[in-house]
Amino acid sequence: MNSLLLATRRILGGVLFRSVAGRRITNGERRVYWRALQHQARTRAQRRASVPLSATRYFVHIPKTAGMSIHAFLGACEPGGPGAPEFFDRFFPRDLIADLESARRCTVFSGHFLGYLDPLLGRPSRKATVLRDPVERAISDYAHKRRATTLRPIPVDWHRPLRELLDDPVAGGSLVNVQARWLAALADDPVWLGLPEMPTSMSDDALLDRARAGLARIEIVGVYDQLPEFLGRLAVAWGLRAPAQIPRTNIGHSRRDLEITDDERDRLRELNRVDYALYDEVAASLRASPPTAPEQHG
């Protein structure tokens, strides 16, 4: 076996985790790091199972799909049965790495953990997510990045017109088929380690196949425009009692100051073909199922 892989496995959970927590994993590190995570997951699962395997719940937060409101909802829920779920109130893989032992005692997660969560915890999770109309999601992301004062150091001037950013290979990665990339990141494939909005040479057909494989791992899928119904199904399936009011957080400011042309919308729709294929499949499935309202309590 590769000596570098063996060395990586030996130091997993210590120096390696903390060395990558504050930076992106390089291309050369990806495969070794992923295999090391898988090794740790197997080792931890064999060593002890302090939390029932079916108890861990994970909301996969795709950017600009009401994820912060859902995070607040999960944090405000009460347990609906024995074994009160402990909520991990942080969002990123680096947060898991920084406090891994505490994270392993939690059973409800909501954040941008991609495919890291299960290997880091050493147990599988029941997953849920929300999809949004891809053009509206992309415009919301564009507006957010124009407003943001602290973004990770990506060399993009987000105040440029949208039509120019769509031709930028870096900026376009945050606006094109992002939902498909996040779903594909749930697969055990080191190509997705790092940021899923990174540009990829994968064809649309291959990305769609990969994203469908990720979507198949998700128990509950909703759409942005039917958030109450999604939260109702989530609370029932996960055994949680909903708060009296559904919290809404991180609501974007008005986008009326953005001048999005019809041509730019058409271009977004064309570029987000894979996202639309997924979104339309999910929306059609939901139309065939009756909605469920969240269980409320006083």
pLDDT, tens digit, 9 for 90 and up, residues 114-146: 888 888 888 889 999 999 999 999 999 999 888
Residues 113 and 96 in one domain: yes
Q: Please give the pLDDT value at position 247.
A: 62
Print the domain residue range for 37: 1-48
Residues 122 and 220 in one domain: yes
Establish if 293 belongs to a structural domain. no
Which backbone phi and psi does 58 adopt, to 5 degrees? -135, 115
Whether residue 266 is predicted with pLDDT greater than 90 in this model: the reply is: yes
Establish if 138 belongs to a structural domain. yes
Q: Which range (16-30, 118-132, 220-234) has the least confidence?
A: 16-30
Establish if 125 belongs to a structural domain. yes
Confidence band of 21 (pLDDT split at 50, 70, 90): very low
Cβ atoms 284, 221 nearer than 8 A:
no
Confidence band of 13 (pLDDT split at 50, 70, 90): very low
Residues 22 and 91 in one domain: no
Number of structural domains found in the chain? 2
Residues 191 and 275 in one domain: yes
Which backbone phi and psi does 222 adopt, to 5 degrees? -125, 180
Residues 34 and 73 in one domain: no
Establish if 294 belongs to a structural domain. no
Residues 129 and 39 in one domain: no
Q: What is the mean pLDDT of residues 255-283?
A: 90
Establish if 292 belongs to a structural domain. no
Picking from 97, 74, 127, the residue whose alpha carbon sits closest to that of residue 235 is 74
Establish if 298 belongs to a structural domain. no
Residues 273 and 131 in one domain: yes
Q: Which range (2-16, 111-125, 228-242) has the least confidence?
A: 2-16
Whether residue 33 is predicted with pLDDT greater than 90 in this model: the reply is: no
Residues 259 and 282 in one domain: yes
> Could you tell me whether strands 78-79 and 240-241 are parallel, antiparallel, or unpaired per DSSP bridges?
antiparallel
3-state secondary structure of 127: strand
- Span 52-89, pLDDT tens digits: 555 789 999 999 999 899 998 888 886 644 445 688 98
Q: Please give the pLDDT value at position 115.
A: 85
| For the ranges 93-97, 154-158, 191-195, 259-263, the one whose mean pLDDT is highest | 259-263
